[in-house]
A and B are shown apart, each in its own frame.
Chain A
Amino acid sequence: MKQSLFSARLSNGIVVLGEDLPGLESVAVAFHTPAGAIHDGPGRCGLANLSGEMMLRGAADRSSREIVEALEGAGIQWAQSVSTSHASFAGAMVARQLPVALPIYADILRRPRLPEEELDNARQMVLQNLAGTEDDPGHRVMQALRQLHFPHPWGMPSEGLSADVEGIGIGAVREFVAAHVRPAGTIIAAAGRIDWDDFVRRIERLFGDWDSGATGTVVPGPRGERVRHVPHDSQQTHIALAWSVPPYREDASYEASAALSVLGGGSSSRLFSEVRERRGLCYSVSAGYQTLRDAAAAVCYSGTSAARAQETLDVMLAEIRRLPGTIQEAEIERVRARAKSALVMQQESSAARAGWIAKQWYHLGTVRSLAEELARYDRLTVASVEAWLAANRPAGLTVVSLGKEPLEVPIEVPA
């Protein structure tokens, strides 16, 4: 398949990426600035999230309301989010609206007003969302898992902690934005119906004279305990497990994610077949691969009635233990087919592709072509996956349960 990928670097360090997707009417653009939650700082968990929200509350000569009216008036589907590594602003639109969108995003990134009179409303909005996540058991169990498994501050919830958010002042927000929303480390990616040369010219004009600040460094702290039960008044007990696997930028990540796909990636996966299909223990059960730049985790999840939760955990652990040495050729064939079709279908969504090429750059410092990505899946074999598993048997599991009663976690789990 013919593919048109482009990249450029401005003198201030901004990386500009593009992919022309013929056949689409739309274009999606995403601005990822390095103002992620790992820079929150002690006692200020949620600072990045609150700052991201504040950046939309007025920029240059537009008020909060005028920003939204300008974006939506041009039919732009906009989104703002904060992750561990980035504060991101994105928009998807009919291609002819791109020239309207770009100056608005340039104002948000470069000239946010950060008005003190909006801080209380923004804070309340963040606190409301945090309260909402307290009521969502699936969200809570995964948040606890990440917090225990990854070293501090990579495991901290990027949405924040209520107690910390309560105390953040406007000074902290302004300092945070000044220090971390900066060109060095910023990735701007567009995918869809784009004219690459025109796009780069516009980005250069809007962002070329943006001064670069210093790079922030984060010192990794300790991780949390291995086993935790979170009391929650619910009928179901939620179970989440994690262990360490190589991050995406390491070649072995393909073997790792293939092994996890065999374990719990599709409806023919081991966990789905054994836990749901054969035993009817739950509605959802899965295993997947979650990566940061320098660390990654295998993550398994299930939710089931309290009375059947122990059996569910035991069967999940048995399937994890059984994995090395038992991978079948047909299973690897299915992993390849699923990955290939997901990659190709991703090309039908401009927003998905803009997100994907930015993610690749952040992890790899380059964008792999579709052909190269597919070739990597073609190179997977039973032998390569088994060799990786033999050297990296699942061990040191983090186990979190959430529900009325704690579960018995066998001593030999970290074996």
Chain B
Amino acid sequence: MKFLHERLPNGLDVIAEVTDSALSTSVGFFVRTGARDETDAEWGVSHFLEHMVFKGTTDLSADEINRRFDWMGASANAFTSEEDTAYHAAVLPEQQDEVTSLLARMMRPALREEDFATEKLVILEEIRMYDDQPPFGADDRCRAAFFGAHPLARSVLGTVASIESLPVEAMRDYHRRRYAPGNMVLAATGAVDFAALVESARRHCGDWEPLPTPPRRAAAPVRPAAGEQCIVRPGSVLEYAVRLSAGPPGDDDDRFAAKLAAAILGDGSGSRLYWALVDTGEAEQATLHHQDFLDAGMFATQLSCDPEDARALLERILEVYRRTSEEGIGTAELEQHRNKLAGRWVLLGERPRRRLFDVGPEWAHSGTYRSVADDLRTIEGLSLDDVRRVLDRWPLHGPGTTVLAGPLGADPSP
């Protein structure tokens, strides 16, 4: 496995993690832009634009793009998060040039008014779809409350109102500013011909105008708000709760230790919360995970259970956190979860299409590359002291924001 990097004169980074034994090639464009880079008037534009990129260029229709991906046998998709927008496809190695060229051309979309109007309807359906599903918006609402004035408070999809009022010109302007070559990374993993990848990049992206790289909005440090809110869903069977508290940000050396601490306390199986609440059938789900951003991090607790038990179980979860912080954890427990995480990493690392989602964003965020072996060394080196430090620095039972969604708080009379 080797890592290669080249920068085009206009600032576009081309990177690859090459695995000669791989059977497939994954290629993706990672744009350093997401919900946190939007203004109030642009709320939801990053994700809407991600959809519009598939609607074609001045000389390539949406149907043509869809047909080409399917004709290549590509497994193609895209995602938008708070900090990234990515377009990716996994193909057999012989399709590398074809898929790179298609993705590259798509990065300069036509953004036609009539396509914009039709796709707006699809985005509104996507918003309604998530709104109908557990946790019924509790996750977005909780993040908004937790981050307060920080740009990470903004939800990726936007709202029905923000999408309805978005004009196409705002999207065109956002695209011009944010999709500058210096703000993008072309990444590939698996069986990659790197010379050909760079050649494709030169041919299809070499003439992109080298605009100055747009800065990310400077943000004040997160001051997590403590508090509780309810979203009332009288028809829901279970109650869904999300609790956020502060954790190490992406540039903090403790981010791996934070993931291990989260696994020990709240992995989907074999964790403290699992034995306390899930194994006993008191909760459908009780998990903890750590998520990091450029300048912020958070621990997210998720609970689903019978509505009448929700508050008591939230208290029990905090009690598990408090006790763990006071009494610490044992060596066997550390080892079990460290080995579990390491095993997970090896399995994920074998799949180039999965690796792309580590390699691409890592470079986009920090300009660094970490191999699976690097990550494994870090995970295997984690000690009881590392977990202890994380729990001391970022107390899980400390201030947090909680949002409940479900029948709680509904008017009892029918």
**Residues of A that sit less than 8 Å from B by CB:** 22-26, 64-65, 68-69, 72-78, 92-94, 97, 120-129, 131-132, 134-138, 232-236, 266-269, 272-273, 276-284, 303-305, 330, 333-334, 337-342, 344-345, 347-351
Contacts and interface: CB of A to CB of B under 8 A. Distances in A.
Contacts of B131: 235
A124 B280 CA distance: 7
Contacts of A75: 339-340, 342-343, 346
A267 B306 contact: no
Interface in B102-155: 118-122, 124-126, 128-129, 131-134
B284 A131 contact: yes
A108 to B, nearest CB: 15
Contacts of A65: 275
Given A280-B119, A348-B351, A128 B283 contact: yes
Residue from A279, A281, A338 whose CB has the most chain B CB atoms within 10 Å = A338
Given A77-B340, A345-B24, A121 B69 contact: no
Given A69-B336, A136-B133, A330-B67, A77 B306 contact: no
Nearest to A76: B343
A260 B342 CA distance: 40
Contacts, number: 197
28 contacts: A23-B23, A26-B347, A72-B336, A73-B340, A76-B340, A77-B340, A92-B343, A93-B343, A120-B281, A124-B281, A126-B281, A128-B282, A137-B132, A232-B235, A234-B132, A235-B132, A236-B129, A236-B132, A272-B66, A277-B63, A278-B118, A280-B122, A341-B73, A345-B23, A345-B90, A347-B23, A348-B24, A350-B347
Contact of A24 (B235, B275, B332, B350): B350
A345 B66 CA distance: 20
A282 B122 contact: yes
A24 to B, nearest CB: 6
A236 B285 CA distance: 25
B91 to A, nearest CB: 7
A283 B134 contact: no
Interface in B56-75: 62-63, 66-67, 69-75
B66 A276 contact: no
Given A280-B121, A281-B121, A334-B67, A132 B332 contact: no
A77 B344 contact: yes
B21 interface: yes
A348 B23 CA distance: 7
A131 B281 contact: no
A220 B346 CA distance: 44
Contacts of A233: 234-235
Contacts of A341: 24, 72-75, 90-92
B162 interface: no
B347 A77 contact: yes
A267 B339 contact: no
Contacts of A273: 63, 66
Nearest to A266: B70
B346 A344 contact: no
Contact of B70 (A132, A236, A267, A280): A267
Contacts of B280: 121, 124-125
Nearest to A349: B351
Contacts of B74: 341
A132 B238 contact: yes
A24 B372 CA distance: 13
Residue from B122, B283, B352 whose CB has the most chain A CB atoms within 10 Å = B122
B350 A73 contact: no
A25 B70 contact: no
Contacts of A127: 281
Given A78-B269, A347-B23, A128 B281 contact: yes
B335 interface: yes
Contacts of B304: 128, 132
Residue from B66, B283, B304 whose CB has the most chain A CB atoms within 10 Å = B66
B265 to A, nearest CB: 14
Residue from A75, A97, A232 whose CB has the most chain B CB atoms within 10 Å = A75
Contacts of A120: 281
A235 B21 contact: no
Nearest to B73: A341
B125 A236 contact: yes
Given A26-B350, A120-B281, A348-B23, A73 B63 contact: no
A129 B71 CA distance: 40
Contact of A73 (B121, B335, B351): B335
A23 B281 contact: no
Contacts of B251: none
Nearest to B406: A135
B269 A135 contact: no
A92 B342 CA distance: 12
Interface string B208-243: 000000000000000000000000001111100000
A268 B69 contact: yes
A24 B54 CA distance: 34
Given A23-B21, A303-B129, A334-B71, A351 B92 contact: no
Given A26-B346, A68-B269, A75-B340, A348 B121 contact: no
